[in-house]
Structure 1
């Protein structure tokens, strides 16, 4: 858009954070996207998930292959849903409006950008603070005894200090936005592969032989699901991890110099990242388990067993940095943008970061962690919602709108109540498809005969919502 056209949209009440990014202000090439997600792959929950995949009864080699296939599916999802952002320079909030309408976009936007992002931002901060606590304890053992048995707000004094420090670091990265994140990931990515590469070499050496790793028999693998369904479960789990950033990927692709840049960069980032992760994670977890003679799927516990303190400090530090990267890309940045979209005249991006961060602290995520069942129910529910949302978004942009969005109509003057266009109000067909997709994806939780659906709920929700939306009648512009 021309500067004059952007000025008109700004006069309608849209701040700079919501306006379409003109090409001259887009600074992310394929190399930036290549480093963007690679740090997000190597995090503590992902390593733990690999242990869960082995418990499905899949062989280590099958787990590796399933992860690589999953990366291709996720890359396709991210690049396809990211095209609206790279083509028009619009953030997620406006991409969502183009699908659900200006009123209809508020609920799915609130669920993704506020509820899911803010709550998960807090939980990720707490998870990272546990690693930070181990790290500080190795350097300064007396720190762990501060306050004795005293607790404040339901957490120990050392735990609260570690959480506050790690929370503050994440907030500062969030304030920097995409530009700081680009520099951060550019430095972090090489460190990740140096450190985790070293861990993989260590695990390979202490395990005895690669054949010992590839033929490892997981004790307690009770499911023994069919291989094909096991692959679908792995793909679904990986997609669920990327459900939130995948839905709001326009917040990042709006900065792309071209659609080609984001497609090449994101695809290379995810596929290369997951190929390396698939090998490293299986080798590290199984190699460590063989070496210590105990089946261990928590990578932090393996690291803590080392007798080399400098190696522990370096590795834990890199894990902490990957958590910061994941938290920024998947949580605080989308939350800030969504708050900006909900209150465009009162909140800008910086204020959005501050508000989201404060809420994430006040909900006391360590209290949520006391009941793991409630956390998983919460996250599974949010994931089940976002699968259908993504399905409707892609169906709308590619098959209904034929990849064409009228920006003048999309950035409507909301003060003019007589304005009539396709983006105004609520897109009822989109809501119907989303709700039906949600019900189907959650049906396995309530109907025993459909229990298998729970294991592939994201795929079911996405596919059903996508199909139903295309079959329903649509609003037409007048």
Structure 2
């Protein structure tokens, strides 16, 4: 048998279904709605996905910034729980749209922003995804450095041949390259396959971190952190509480916008999206508590308050313990980097360049761009830029608000999935832009701008203007919601209202396209015989049927 290899092409394989007819500029195979046979995420998949996301170094360190403003560890846990209780509702609301229409975030955004207007949230999310991918890769590199140092202690003292102004040593650069390369195979995986990575991480990492928690309570007899009292009171206490709440919410504000990138693969009822409401506060609060206990125990034993877990475990005499715990943090960084950053950035890049970028290429492009950002220099010296990206979450509150309000209130859960792929459809609005979304977005962002500027450059005195920013996500979300709903009721987009939702399965069934994949990449009409991979297949089935039979090859 002669082997044939497919020639690589600059352009990606286009979608070939009813959604792609006449509008290749706005779709490719990865952007079209997920078909029935590709929906493989179950309730367990979503549980392990969030368990995987919850156990990461950022969540471990939540309490550090909260305690730094004068609050206690008890208040930090309450703040984390409240923050994720709030954000879980928004994640559920926007994630439900993905379950219903099985389309990614960039496509769903067209319904509320318009086709060209959707570039505002898409570009915003793409920039954040690439930036945080590079930062998380650096965090993973630090874990790899500790792992190698546990096996080969002299690695930690390797002569440095990199200029000091670069902010990175030779051993850390080697670790960065190793972790970056380790991520590449996972970046090439389909989201349906990645759910197994999240399953493995949701088992191994919690086991390791529970072991750390046991060590913390067994090894230290006097943990001073647990006896602390708040060092601020009155208005300073209230503003510190709100600012900390906003900071924690901001860490996961991105997923409140683009949860549909994952929920689109769901095979279970939309009601299961409400699972996030109890799950997220429990998981993230527990992770924060592990960080508090371990850091407090380390301070009691070593005389240093190390919120960075790699600095903490560097004191451990057992090389095996250092290796396996550092490996758990490396795995944690890998999982969250894919779930929160690379996959999301890939969907955004796919929407921006659908003819040339698919999800796989988008993730690889995200990984390549992470080098261009030189994250080690950002972490070492570019504090203002790091503050800018951290503060960028104030823009995501209004974006999440517009998308949630548009689907659940303005359009009353009635979207036309087919029209989301047709630029001259009911979602064209005015020259492809929904002005209501643009106006609401700027109204929601404007009050936060003085504090936003001050967070980047503390030398700029904005007076009381800093206070709106201290609860900026909440202000932006609810302020934008109020304005968007008001504009939608006073100036309703009549052309976008439909009597009944048009779901992707309705379109697939009505058009007669097959539901099951073939060895080729094209979909064919029922009853039509075409050559694919040099063999003929016949597609059979009943139009409108939920589960179509697999096509059988005729020998």
Which TM-score applies when normalising by structure 1? 0.90
1:458 to 452, 458, 473: 473
Q: Is the 8 A contact 1:68 1:274 kept in 2?
A: yes
> Matched residue of 2:427: which SS?
coil
Name 1:343's counterpart in structure 2.
Answer: 353
Structure 1 unaligned regions, length at least 5: none
Name 1:67's counterpart in structure 2.
Answer: 80
Hey, what's the Cα distance between the residues in 1 that align with 2:295 and 2:233? 20
What's the offset of the Cα at 1:456? 1.5
Name 1:422's counterpart in structure 2.
Answer: 427
Map 1:241-252 to 2 at 5 A: 241-252=251-262
Map 1:17-416 to 2 at 5 A: 17-113=30-126, 115-146=127-158, 148-151=160-163, 154=166, 155-208=168-221, 214-217=226-229, 221=231, 229-260=239-270, 262-267=272-277, 269-412=279-422, 414=423
- Counterpart check, 1:476 vs 2:494: yes
What's the offset of the Cα at 1:430? 0.2
Residues 346-395 of structure 1, C-alpha deviation per residue, up to 9 Å, x if partnerless?
22112212222211122222222232422333213421211111111111
Q: Is the 8 A contact 2:89 2:276 kept in 1?
A: no
Residues 431-459 of structure 1, C-alpha deviation per residue, up to 9 Å, x if partnerless?
11111211112233453112222222111
What's the offset of the Cα at 1:228? 5.3
Structure 2 unaligned regions, length at least 5: 1-14, 454-461, 497-555
Q: Is the 8 A contact 2:239 2:470 kept in 1?
A: no
Q: How many residues align?
A: 465
- Counterpart check, 1:435 vs 2:442: yes
> Matched residue of 1:34: which SS?
helix
Q: Is the 8 A contact 2:378 2:386 kept in 1?
A: no
What's the offset of the Cα at 1:136? 1.2
Q: Is the 8 A contact 1:409 1:423 kept in 2?
A: no
Q: Is the 8 A contact 1:56 1:223 kept in 2?
A: no
Q: Is the 8 A contact 1:86 1:262 kept in 2?
A: no
Hey, what's the Cα distance between the residues in 2 that align with 1:111 and 1:399? 24
> Matched residue of 2:71: which SS?
coil
Report 1 or 2 for greater relative contact order, CA contacts < 8 Å, sequence distance ≥ 6. 1
Residues 302-337 of structure 1, C-alpha deviation per residue, up to 9 Å, x if partnerless?
111111111111111001111111110111001111
Name 1:467's counterpart in structure 2.
Answer: 482
Q: Is the 8 A contact 2:243 2:471 kept in 1?
A: yes
Q: Is the 8 A contact 1:129 1:162 kept in 2?
A: yes
If you compute each CA radius of gyration, which structure gives the higher value, 1 or 2? 2
Residues 168-219 of structure 1, C-alpha deviation per residue, up to 9 Å, x if partnerless?
2223222113223211111111222211111111111233268x5532358x
Q: Is the 8 A contact 1:395 1:470 kept in 2?
A: yes
CA separation of 1:442/1:259 partners in 2, compared to 1, >3 Å: closer, same or farther? farther
CA separation of 1:129/1:311 partners in 2, compared to 1, >3 Å: closer, same or farther? same
Range that drifts further, 150-159 or 315-324 = 150-159
Which TM-score applies when normalising by structure 2? 0.78
Residues 67-97 of structure 1, C-alpha deviation per residue, up to 9 Å, x if partnerless?
2222222221211111110111010111111
Hey, what's the Cα distance between the residues in 2 that align with 1:233 and 1:360? 29
Hey, what's the Cα distance between the residues in 2 that align with 1:9 and 1:148? 55
> Matched residue of 2:345: which SS?
helix
What's the offset of the Cα at 1:223? 7.6
What's the offset of the Cα at 1:231? 4.2
Hey, what's the Cα distance between the residues in 2 that align with 1:340 and 1:445? 30
Range that drifts further, 335-344 or 169-178 = 169-178
Q: Is the 8 A contact 1:86 1:256 kept in 2?
A: yes
What's the offset of the Cα at 1:265? 4.5
Hey, what's the Cα distance between the residues in 2 that align with 1:368 and 1:166? 18
> Matched residue of 2:188: which SS?
helix
CA separation of 1:199/1:223 partners in 2, compared to 1, >3 Å: closer, same or farther? farther
Tell me how large the CA RMSD over aligned residues is: 2.5
Structure with higher helix content: 1
Name 2:457's counterpart in structure 1.
Answer: none
Residues 233-290 of structure 1, C-alpha deviation per residue, up to 9 Å, x if partnerless?
3332221011112211100110111344641543454233124224322222222222
Hey, what's the Cα distance between the residues in 1 that align with 2:164 and 2:293? 40
Q: Is the 8 A contact 1:171 1:354 kept in 2?
A: yes
Q: Is the 8 A contact 1:441 1:457 kept in 2?
A: yes
> Matched residue of 1:176: which SS?
coil
